[in-house]
Amino acid sequence: QVQLQESGPGLVKPSETLSLTCAVSGASINSYDWSWIRQPPGKGLEWIGYMYNGESRNHNPSLKSRVTISVDTTKNQFSLKLRSVTAADTAVYYCAKIESGNYDAFDIWGQGTVVTVSS
Amino acid sequence: DIQMTQSPSSLSASVGDRVTITCRASQSISTYLNWYQQRPGKAPKLLIYGSSSLHGGVPSRFSGGRSGTDFTLTISSLQPEDFASYYCQQSYSAPYSFGQGTKLEIK
């Protein structure tokens, strides 16, 4: 049973870098592909980016290249960095597993972590 | 980028009702359309992938359909636990995009 758990600071100052980690249990991180998704308060879901094969990465152009997604195979986890944050980046951040054999659907999600951008 | 337009944004219904939610893609996405359910304060859960395939453990009262670039999620007989928000999502090409969501409320 694959499980995901996000972690990181709940409060980030404007212009700083948001850093989150998603710990994967129940499977090797090299066995699947992974994604980050966020949800501003009271709003819908926004795809942030993904990584395939532990190396290839893509992110939402709307985030203007502020995104870095990386993997740490020794810790079986992957990470998100979002630079130069503003209040608009306040959201619940989710990590998710991509089921590549099933139309790249997000079949397993972490519980989400709340990040507030405020001074 | 592919835009997903979901309707209605909210819907009131009663237990036992049959309801349908629609999602329209701005261009062809073949059958790369997935549906999620989100209860308040919880992470989304995958219901349907590939426009019509039921994810494991999802009740058979949920079904998905497609006509061209129009997709539907139908719940055949609403149960109390089905009152939640629903989102469509295209996985045809990046950037992956979600519909705006439909909030299903008890009438």
Nearest to A77 by CA among A54, A61, A60: A54
**Tokens 């409060």, located at residue:** A11
CA distance B19 to chain A (A): 21
CA distance A119 to chain B (A): 25
Is B57 in CB contact (< 8 Å) with chain A? no
Q: What is the DSSP letter of B96?
A: P
CB A14 within 8 A of CB A86: yes
User: How far is Cα A71 from Cα A90, in angstroms, rounded to an integer?
Assistant: 23
Residue contact A45–B98, C-beta within 8 A: yes
SS3 A9: coil
Q: What is the DSSP letter of B14?
A: -
Residue contact A102–B94, C-beta within 8 A: no
What integer pLDDT is reported at residue A52 of this predicted model?
83
B92: number of CA atoms within 13 Å, CB side? 18
User: How far is Cα A77 from Cα A23, in angstroms, rounded to an integer?
Assistant: 4
A11-59 per-position pLDDT tens digit: 999 999 999 999 999 999 999 999 999 999 999 999 999 988 777 678 8
What is chain B's mean pLDDT, rounded? 97
Nearest to B36 by CA among A57, A9, A103, A88: A103
Pairing of strands B102-106, B10-13: parallel
What integer pLDDT is reported at residue A56 of this predicted model?
63
Is B71 in CB contact (< 8 Å) with chain A? no
CB B104 within 8 A of CB B19: yes
- In terms of CA atoms, which chain B residue is nearest residue A38? B43
pLDDT at position B42 over 80: yes
CB B67 within 8 A of CB B51: no
Beta bridge partners of B98: B89
A90-114 per-position pLDDT tens digit: 999 999 999 988 899 999 999 999 9
Q: State how far the alpha carbon of B4 is from the alpha carbons of A35, A91, B26, in Å.
A: 19, 21, 6
Q: How many percent of chain B have pLDDT more than 70?
A: 100
